[in-house]
């Protein structure tokens, strides 16, 4: 496909249109009287139809036409934007996506599916017609009082007031009164200006929109006042007429998300300029270096160092700029879940309110893309198993509508994304019983909440059977955990029975480059991600010779288990006299890693391990050091788990002895 393939461009545009239609539909589901939203859907459909036909997507244009017609009726107040209608149009939106994907050829199967959607669309429109809600700015049978004044310079720009007046006359009975009091004396009159303004009384079956349509080309600048001739007899609060069973409770207005993730990335022009500046500086630095390299005679050390420092600064800035271009707001991701929650609410018959916070938090593009599937699973879980049915909620004294909160915030080098529901919470006893039955934990073993809930992520640990009687579906939680771990992230669960559950995903800001602490163990050098390093201390002399019976350190009154990496890695290189302990922490776990030497900080480009070493466990990747050697990057999460397991084994052994 060539780069400027117009069909590809249309697909991208159509994708964006469909996304905005979906967003508007979902907003509309919570606020069905919002004419702005109705207009937005209508405009989206209209544009899609037009450009679809232009690029040869005939089936799409034909199909979209019907939806557009339906929404035109809603726009004109002849039908109501009912939940049923929104549901049908949402599925129609999916069908449009399918039509776009299939291409200009068309597909008989799709056509059939389309017919089915159209017939339910007709039904939905027909049903809602009777219930059409009169809106404040709608059909006012008595008539309108209009006064309008054209903006200065509009006649010069080609606006002619006479056809406007003619058009108004076409709408109904008009009494037009020209106002001449602003017409200046002849001497100062500019012939291209319109000094006259008009008062018009129009009677008949005319809507306010009809009148506004007349002035559509000049409405932005002109003075236009449209008032109903006679006040409405009773102020008919339209909100009260709404069907009470709004399936999706009014969501928080979601911040307009940036364009969705596609193969192409939109980059702010200023970021590109910044990048270009850096590259320019780098070229200059490089030529200086080349000059130094080819110059005869001894090279001034200071000059060389200056160039080196320049290049160091530039590469750091280049890295930051490039990285910034890869960052996308998580609002993109959250936006996709609104539809999911809407559909889940329908499927499960629950009322679910989706609240989102921190959409502006930026995460690496790759993380966002790979986060969608695990999050879909977690959200499904929360809606399916977490939130109770309306009856149960009332019985438990909770509001009928369940709430699901997605929030994102940045904390240090991590982004925290939390999925919170106010459902029934996780039943600890059942999880424990299940884990004991499966032999994952010793009966009676003392486990913290964190450790106990981690059992849910064990492969084959059926959450459905353990926690609710509802059946699970799709991928298991172990897959969720694995995909989060492949992003170098972790999942924390906190849950209070009867109050709700929070799943917090800890994710790295970026995948490609991290700051690392370089350490030496034996003759090997290893990198520890700096984001998890808490402090470094010297291994107390008493611990150096102690046997492996008690691997604890007293760090300011707190017991921290430690791992001797020399033993873990089985090195026989002579140990350093003064070994150091790097205290690392991730989530709630905290552990000391005993190393021979701390070399220093370094920036590392993470490379994945080959398939021969991927299953190693202790390492999350490898990197190339400044001298060209390969260093392994420690997988701190796994090491913490290993240390805690050790500690528990020791504890159990101690218990047996006693």
Partner 1 sequence: MIVPERVLTFALDGEIFAIDAQAVREILEVPAITRVPGAPDFASGLINVRGAIVPLTDLAVAFGMVHADHGEDTRVIVIEAEVEGEPTTIGLVADKVLDVAAMEGVPVEEAPPVGMRWRADFIRAIARPQGQFVILPDLELIFAESLGMATRQERAA
Confirm or reject binding of residue 622 to partner 1 (CB under 8 A): yes
- DSSP secondary structure letter of residue 354: E
626 lies in the binding site for partner 1 (CB under 8 A): no
Q: Are 476 and 458 in contact (CB under 8 A)?
A: no
Please pick, from the candidates 191, 253, 600, 615, the single residue that binds partner 1 as defined by CB under 8 A: 615
Shortest distance (Å) from residue 621 CB to partner 1 = 9
| Burial class of residue 632 (count of CB atoms within 10 Å of its CB; 0-12, 13-18, 19+) | buried
**Minimum CB distance to partner 1 smaller for 524 or for 585:** 524
Alpha carbon distance 450, 461 (integer Å): 16
Give the closest residue to 274 by CA, choosing from 220, 342, 321. 321
Nearer to partner 1, 407 or 618 (CB): 618
Stretch that binds partner 1, among 29-37, 117-125, 317-325, 620-628 (CB under 8 A): 620-628
Q: Which stretch binds partner 1 (CB under 8 A): 35-43, 273-281, 585-593, 626-634?
A: 626-634
Q: Is residue 486 part of the contact set for partner 1 (CB under 8 A)?
A: no
Residue closer to partner 1, measured from CB, 556 or 611: 611
The site map against partner 1 for 212-231 (x = CB under 8 A) is --------------------
Which residue from 611, 655, 656, 657 is in contact with partner 1, where contact means CB under 8 A? 611
Map residues 516-545 to x or -, x wherever contact with partner 1 holds by CB under 8 A: --------x---------------------
Task: Lay out the site mask for partner 1 across 116-155 (x = CB under 8 A, - = otherwise).
Answer: ----------------------------------------
Output the smallest distance, CB 551 to partner 1, in A: 18
When asked if residue 629 is in the footprint of partner 1 (CB under 8 A), the reply is yes
**Nearest distance in Å: CB 628, partner 1:** 6
Residues 6+ apart with CB under 8 A from 436: 442, 443
Q: Provide the 3-class DSSP secondary structure of residue 452.
A: helix
Q: Given the complex with partner 1, which of 24 and 606 has the nearer CB atom?
A: 606
Q: Which of these, 84, 45, 26, lies nearest to 253 by C-alpha position?
A: 26
Alpha-carbon gap, residue 333 to 336, rounded angstroms: 5
> Does residue 632 touch partner 1 according to CB under 8 A?
yes
CB of 614 to partner 1, least distance (A): 9
Question: Residue 510 Cβ, how far from partner 1 at the closest point, in Å?
Answer: 19
Distance in angstroms (rounded) separating the CA atoms of residues 480 and 453: 14
Query: Whose Cβ is closer to partner 1: residue 552's or residue 569's?
Result: 569
644 belongs to the binding site for partner 1 (CB under 8 A): no
Secondary element (H or E) of residue 317: helix 301-326
Q: Smallest gap, in angstroms, from Cβ of residue 610 to partner 1?
A: 4
In order, the DSSP letters of 152-165 are TTTTTTT--HHHHH
Nearer to partner 1, 308 or 629 (CB): 629
Shortest distance in whole angstroms from residue 606 CB to partner 1: 10
Strands (E) in 556-624, as ranges, are: 558-564, 580-586, 589-595, 597-605, 619-624
Residue among 306 and 625 whose Cβ is closer to partner 1: 625
The minimum distance between CB 571 and partner 1, in angstroms, equals 7
Sheet with 414-421, strands from edge to edge, namely: 352-357, 402-411, 414-421, 500-508, 490-496
Is 108 an interacting residue with respect to partner 1 (CB under 8 A)? no
Q: Which is nearer to partner 1, 356 or 623 (CB)?
A: 623
DSSP 76-127: TTSS---HHHHHHHHHHHHHHHHHHHH-TT--HHHHHHHHHHHHHHHHHHHH
The residue range among 82-90, 141-149, 331-339, 623-631 that interacts with partner 1, by the rule CB under 8 A, is 623-631
Contact call for residues 596 and 540 (beta carbons, < 8 A):
no
Q: Does residue 511 bind partner 1 (CB under 8 A)?
A: no
Please, which residue, 38 or 643, has the CB nearer to partner 1? 643
Closer to partner 1 by Cβ: residue 350 or 525:
525
* Positions 549 through 608 that interact with partner 1 (CB under 8 A): 568-571, 607
| Cα distance between residue 73 and residue 82, in whole Å | 12
The distance of closest approach from Cβ of residue 570 to partner 1 in the complex, given in angstroms and rounded to an integer, is 6
Smallest separation (angstroms) from partner 1 to the CB of 616 = 6
Phi-psi group of 570: left, alpha or beta (phi > 0 → left; psi -120 to 50 → alpha; rest → beta): left
The count of chain residues that interact with partner 1, using the rule CB under 8 A, is 24
- 252 vs 31: CA distance, rounded Å: 11
234-241 contact pairs (CB < 8 A, 24+): 236/134, 238/33, 238/133, 238/134, 238/135, 238/136, 239/33, 241/133
Number of H helices, E strands in the chain: 20, 21
CB of 478 to partner 1, least distance (A): 15
Minimal CA–CA distance to 90: which of 39, 33, 41? 41
| Angstrom distance (rounded) from CA 97 to CA 103 | 10
Among 630, 645, 652, 654, binds partner 1 (CB under 8 A): 630
Task: Using CB under 8 A, pick the residue from 108, 185, 349, 628 that binds partner 1.
Answer: 628
* 612 binding partner 1? (CB under 8 A): yes
For partner 1, the binding residue among 244, 439, 610, 626 (CB under 8 A) is: 610
Burial class (CB in 10 A: 0-12, 13-18, 19+), 625: middle
Q: With respect to partner 1, which residue has the nearer C-beta, 116 or 614?
A: 614
Q: How far is the CB of 609 from partner 1 (least distance, A)?
A: 8
**Which of 579, 567, 577 minimizes the C-alpha distance to 539?**
579
Among 51, 382, 407, 618, binds partner 1 (CB under 8 A): 618
Distance, C-alpha 238 to centroid of its chain? 33
Beta bridge partners of 581: 537, 594
Query: Which residues contribute to the site for partner 1 (CB under 8 A)?
Result: 524, 568-571, 607, 609-613, 615-619, 622-624, 628-632
């Amino acid at each position: 496909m060539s780069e400027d393939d117009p069909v590809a461009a249309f697909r991208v545009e159509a994708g964006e249109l469909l996304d905005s239609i979906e967003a508007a539909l979902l907003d509309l589901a919570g606020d069905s009287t919002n004419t702005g939203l109705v207009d937005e859907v209508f405009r989206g459909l209209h544009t899609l139809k037009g450009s679809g036909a232009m690029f040869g997507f005939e089936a799409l244009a034909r199909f979209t036409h019907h939806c557009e017609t339906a929404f035109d009726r809603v726009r004109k107040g002849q039908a109501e934007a009912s939940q049923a209608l929104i549901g049908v149009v949402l599925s129609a939106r999916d069908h449009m996506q399918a039509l776009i994907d299939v291409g200009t050829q068309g597909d008989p199967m799709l056509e059939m599916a389309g017919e089915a959607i159209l017939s339910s669309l007709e039904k939905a429109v027909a049903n809602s017609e009777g219930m059409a809600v009169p809106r404040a700015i709608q059909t006012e049978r008595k008539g309108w009082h209009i006064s309008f004044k054209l903006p200065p310079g509009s006649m010069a720009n080609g606006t002619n007031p006479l056809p406007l007046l003619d058009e108004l006359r076409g709408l109904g009975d008009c009494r037009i009164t020209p106002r001449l009091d602003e017409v200046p004396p002849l001497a100062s009159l500019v012939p291209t200006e319109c000094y006259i303004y008009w008062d018009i009384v129009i009677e008949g079956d005319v809507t306010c929109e009809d009148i506004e349509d007349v002035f559509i080309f000049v409405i932005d600048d002109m003075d236009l006042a449209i008032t109903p001739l006679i006040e409405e007899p009773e102020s008919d609060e339209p909100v009260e007429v709404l069907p009470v069973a709004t399936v999706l409770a009014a969501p928080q207005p979601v911040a307009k998300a940036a364009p969705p993730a596609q193969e192409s990335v939109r980059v702010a022009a200023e970021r590109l300029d910044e990048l270009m500046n850096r590259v320019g500086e780098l070229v200059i630095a490089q030529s200086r270096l080349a000059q130094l390299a080819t110059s005869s005679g001894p090279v001034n050390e200071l000059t060389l160092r200056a160039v080196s420092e320049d290049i160091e600064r530039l590469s750091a800035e280049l890295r930051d700029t490039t990285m910034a271009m890869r960052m996308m707001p998580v609002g993109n991701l959250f936006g996709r879940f609104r539809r999911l929650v809407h559909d889940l609410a329908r499927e499960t018959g629950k009322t679910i309110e989706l609240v989102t916070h921190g959409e502006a938090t930026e995460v690496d593009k790759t993380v966002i893309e790979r986060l969608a599937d695990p999050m879909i699973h977690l959200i499904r879980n929360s809606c399916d198993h977490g939130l109770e049915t309306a009856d149960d909620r009332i019985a438990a004294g909770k509001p009928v509508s369940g709430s699901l909160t997605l929030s994102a915030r940045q904390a240090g080098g991590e982004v925290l994304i939390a999925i919170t529901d106010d459902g029934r919470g996780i039943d600890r006893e059942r999880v424990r019983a299940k884990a004991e039955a499966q032999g994952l934990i010793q009966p009676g073993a003392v486990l913290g909440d964190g450790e106990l809930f981690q059992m849910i992520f064990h492969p084959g640990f059926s959450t459905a059977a353990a926690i609710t009687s509802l059946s699970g579906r799709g991928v298991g939680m172990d897959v969720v955990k694995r995909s989060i771990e492949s992003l170098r992230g972790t999942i924390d669960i906190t849950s209070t029975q009867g109050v709700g559950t929070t799943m917090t995903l800890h994710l790295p800001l970026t995948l490609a480059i991290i700051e690392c602490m370089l350490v030496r163990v034996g003759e090997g050098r290893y990198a520890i991600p700096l984001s998890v390093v808490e402090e470094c201390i010297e291994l107390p002399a008493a611990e150096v010779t102690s046997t492996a019976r008690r691997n604890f350190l007293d760090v300011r009154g707190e017991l921290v288990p430690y791992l001797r990496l020399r033993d873990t890695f089985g090195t026989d290189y002579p140990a350093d006299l003064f070994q150091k302990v790097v205290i690392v922490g991730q989530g709630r776990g905290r552990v000391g890693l005993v190393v021979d030497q701390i070399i220093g900080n370094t920036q590392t480009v993470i490379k994945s391990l080959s398939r021969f070493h991927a299953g190693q466990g202790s390492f999350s990747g490898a990197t190339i050091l400044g001298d060209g050697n390969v260093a392994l990057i420690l997988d701190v999460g796994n090491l913490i788990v290993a240390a805690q397991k050790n500690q528990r084994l020791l504890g159990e052994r101690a218990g047996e002895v006693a």
